[in-house]
Structure 1
Amino acid sequence: MVMEQLTLQLQSTAGRMLRLRCKTKNGSHIMQGLTHQSCVQELKSKVEELTGIPCDVQKIMVGYPPSSLDLKNGDAHLKDYPIKSGDTLIVEEEKNKPKPRQDHPTVTKAPRLETSPMLARRVVPADNSCLFTSVYYVVEGGVYDPACAPEMRGLIAQIVSSDPAAYSEAVLGKSNEEYCSWIKRDDTWGGAIEVSILSKFYKCEICVVDTQTVRVDRFGEDAGYHKRVLLIYDGIHYDPLQKETPGSDAPPHTIFSTTDDVILAQALELADEARRKRQFTDVNRFALRCMVCQTGLVGQKEAREHAKETGHTNFGEV
């Protein structure tokens, strides 16, 4: 035992090189540049260089059966440990030890903030029935059903035909009977008259925010309703508005209190943003074509005049 210690010390004094093999799960590597005079920290640094295992989580074993080396003192010399030239060191990463702090700054993730609900547009198809699909969506609490349009058209026709005094030609722009036949067709568009009728039927205030003028038209405002729903209108197309939480599976919110003026302000902000992005159609200037006689028209005014002169009411945007 004394001779082994003496021999080890002599090797260290002479600076004789240690030929060690570092063995890990990914293979083995020859370790060069170490002597018995090298310190523990040099050994650890060499192991990290070869294996990528940080110094502070290294578990180094030697012998058979392998026994762990106590390498806490980084300044101690390797001559003080039972390591000989030709030894194989077994290196593992101690999973239960915390990783050391790196020299480079670490990126600290900000705490996840809960996303607040926001008012947003829910796009529906531009199929001549966008108003009916949109109204149904909001009054039913976020139920999308494009097949609802024929039923809603029939409902409006029934309400109008049942009260010819209130819904006269002066109000409808055509006779009561003509209007009822017209609104039930799937190629006609709904507008203010239909919104007003649906507001009364569903007993709720229907607010239509216009993206061209950035104003809100409130149907049923003075009726004393407690519920409010919102639509956005770009001149020819209606979409429902809903409050939703981005990234959440929570269902959208489409019915609001008539005392909630904040929701109206948010709707106007949406409309103003759409206006600034030119997301509207100028109904006084957009090009139309009569789908009956193929006459080219410009804007609603010419379309109305053409309809009065010819009885044609089927128009398509060019």
Structure 2
Amino acid sequence: MLRLRCKTKNGSHIMQGLTHQSCVQELKSKVEELTGIPCDVQKIMVGYPPSSLDLRNGDAHLKDYPIKSGDTLIVEEEKNKPKPQDHPTVTKTPRLEASPVLARRVVPADNSCLFTSVNYVVEGGVYEPSCAPEMRGLIAQIVSSNPTAYSEAVLGKSNEEYCTWIRRDDTWGGAIEVSILSKFYQCEICVVDTQTVRVDRFGEDAGYHKRVLLIYDGIHYDPLQKETPGSDVPPQTIFSSTDDVILAQALELADEARRKRQFTDVNRFALRCMVCQTGLVGQKEAREHAKETGHTNFGEV
């Protein structure tokens, strides 16, 4: 399979579903689907410096061109070519101006961002700010009912101490809680880390059919959703567990945040709030600042 990035002046898209045996016309059709540029006026370039590809033979195979998996195809509209005209008796369907994109849905920094985020995505985009106590109680009930599986070696504290601890509204959830919630909701929970640009997949091997996505910056969790800008269409938060395109998009989002240094390296502790530019030292100050101000965008200094 070829995994290509199709880049235009308006943004970039991941292109999948092509192989070296695919023909030129399949490539052009895929480009038109992603960019809206008609096949007849596409100028497709590859390499550095970019050089144009001669794609006039629509039946030629992509193996005959210098295209390999991972390449970025730069696509422009050739202004000197007339666009294909519709027959005058046919009404042309207007093209949608916006395509769905994967985006972060910010939730409050109130020590319960993990629980709020998980509840938001598993409920299909329904925001319920008062859900945290119920979810904390649910986790405590599951843990207390199985002291063998949830022992001190797993929890870092006794089963009873943990159940008391997780019910408090000033404690933070993490990997243990995500794993428990993945099993309870019978869905794969993918956490995308903006510092390392990796995906931790909880419930990956359990055979679940559903997948939800969170993004994590070292301190704060937010849910991810697919939304259409400027549209009233409800956001999508639940995806198929076989949808690897959505994982690639999530990693792109994380990589963009990393390039902007929108992450918190809790091992180095020199931080700055990217909202109000306040200098902070350590995880504790970052937590307190987030709780007091609602600011959740921290960068490493």
- Please give the per-residue CA displacement for 1:179-198, whole angstroms capped at 9, x wherever unaligned: 00000000000000000000
When the two structures are superposed, what TM-score results if normalisation uses the length of structure 2?
Answer: 0.60
CA distance, structure 2, for counterparts of residue 111 and residue 37 of structure 1: 33
> Which structure has the greater CA radius of gyration?
1
1:135 Cα deviation after fit? 0.0
**Larger RCO: 1 or 2 (CA < 8 Å, sep 6+):** 2
Do the aligned residues in 2 keep the contact of 1:187 with 1:314 (CA within 8 Å)? no
Tell me: CA distance 1:94–1:259, structure 2 relative to 1, closer, same or farther (3 Å).
Answer: closer
Do the aligned residues in 1 keep the contact of 2:46 with 2:71 (CA within 8 Å)? yes
Tell me: CA distance 1:252–1:176, structure 2 relative to 1, closer, same or farther (3 Å).
Answer: same
1:113 Cα deviation after fit? 3.7
CA distance, structure 2, for counterparts of residue 59 and residue 97 of structure 1: 10
Cα RMSD after superposing both structures: 22.9
1:283 Cα deviation after fit? 1.4
Equivalences for residues 223-242 of structure 1 within 5 A: 223-242=206-225
1:114 Cα deviation after fit? 3.2
- Please give the per-residue CA displacement for 1:204-259, whole angstroms capped at 9, x wherever unaligned: 00000000000000000000000000000000000000000000001000000000
CA distance, structure 2, for counterparts of residue 139 and residue 167 of structure 1: 24
1:40 Cα deviation after fit? 60
1:110 Cα deviation after fit? 13
Comparing 298-307 and 69-78, the one that deviates more:
69-78
When the two structures are superposed, what TM-score results if normalisation uses the length of structure 1?
Answer: 0.57
Equivalences for residues 262-281 of structure 1 within 5 A: 262-281=245-264
CA distance, structure 1, for counterparts of residue 38 and residue 53 of structure 2: 16
Divergent runs of 4+, >6 A = 17-100, 102-111, 287-298, 300-318
1:127 Cα deviation after fit? 0.3
Q: Which runs of 5+ in 2 are unaligned?
A: none
Q: Percent identity?
A: 95
Q: Which of 179, 187, 209 pairs up with 2:162?
A: 179
Tell me: CA distance 1:267–1:90, structure 2 relative to 1, closer, same or farther (3 Å).
Answer: closer
1:81 Cα deviation after fit? 73
1:267 Cα deviation after fit? 0.1
Do the aligned residues in 2 keep the contact of 1:284 with 1:298 (CA within 8 Å)? no
CA distance, structure 1, for counterparts of residue 69 and residue 148 of structure 2: 111
Tell me: CA distance 1:79–1:296, structure 2 relative to 1, closer, same or farther (3 Å).
Answer: closer
Comparing 41-50 and 143-152, the one that deviates more:
41-50
CA distance, structure 2, for counterparts of residue 314 and residue 59 of structure 1: 39
Do the aligned residues in 1 keep the contact of 2:270 with 2:281 (CA within 8 Å)? yes
SS in 2 for 1:242: strand
CA distance, structure 2, for counterparts of residue 94 and residue 304 of structure 1: 52
SS in 1 for 2:157: coil
Comparing 150-159 and 112-121, the one that deviates more:
112-121
Do the aligned residues in 2 keep the contact of 1:284 with 1:301 (CA within 8 Å)? no
Tell me: CA distance 1:284–1:18, structure 2 relative to 1, closer, same or farther (3 Å).
Answer: closer
